[in-house]
Amino acid sequence: MLSREYATERIIKVETAYSRHSNLKGKSVKSCHNPQMSQQLPGIQMKVILFGATGMVGKSVLRQCLLDAEVESVLSIGRAGSGVSHPKLRDLVRPNMFAFDAEPSELVGYDACFFCLGVSSVGMSEADYTHLTYDLTLGWAHALARANPDMRFLYVSGMGTGGKAMWAQVKGRTENDLLALLPQAKMIRLGALRPMHGESSKAPGGGVLLALLSPLWPLFQRFFPDSVITSEELGRAMIRVARGDAQKRVLESRDLAALGRQGAA
């Protein structure tokens, strides 16, 4: 179900959404101030931007976006193409991801951004990790804020962000500045992610670790249901946050699990 807030923000797309639902032919659109509006407007669609489509988290989100009828189109921005061919998907290849000067026309008109880029801090200095985490994220956030001031910007940080570890401090600063920059920014503090469709980690040793964990995932989910989320649940949760179903600005693993499991069989 769409939130009332999102339905009101996107009322401009109502006529298009209705025309795409044959069972609604001949029905007129009511005032956006109708208290029941969120229940009357199925199929309002979003245009989204995705960073990190080739990583484990990004692949999970991309798969769900391509399956979800409420996602109209996806622009994948990265150093290389996403490797996926789909009518809803377009790649914007930026060999230098620190060149934030993309043509404004390439970025305008989007409703949400899923920022799923991330690197492991293992073996990195704080300066290098800050450059690849804080500088990269804020650079694109500023570019998108100019193009789409009301965009929902979902930043995938991680469980433990803001803690004492170097990576947690850097991600904490990144979160804080995103929240200050974008009124609709949402922080995604992901815990353990169980791949369901062959998603793999690009982190050093990530593939080996996932192979070792594979037979243990059902047990982890049984005993730690709020800390472990499947790739399918994550994708659904991210889309629900993007369309306005979450009031919190910082979502922990348990929040994502709850959103991702709504309506699941």
Confidence tier at 5 by pLDDT (50, 70, 90): very low
Query: 197-248, pLDDT tens digit by residue?
Result: 666 656 665 565 555 666 665 776 676 677 788 989 999 999 999 999 999 9
Alpha-carbon span 153 to 179, nearest angstrom: 9
Average pLDDT over residues 130-157: 97
Q: What's the Cα-to-Cα distance from 33 to each of 8, 38, 112, 249, rounded to whole Å?
A: 8, 10, 23, 25
The domain ranges of the chain are 45-261
Class for the domain spanning 45-261? alpha beta
Query: 159-183, pLDDT tens digit by residue?
Result: 999 999 999 999 999 999 999 999 9
Query: 16-41, pLDDT tens digit by residue?
Result: 333 333 333 333 333 333 333 333 33
Average pLDDT over residues 59-86: 96
Alpha-carbon span 255 to 252, nearest angstrom: 5
Q: In what order do the strands lie in the sheet with 89-93?
A: 89-93, 71-78, 46-51, 112-115, 152-156, 186-188, 250-251
Q: What is the pLDDT of residue 24?
A: 34
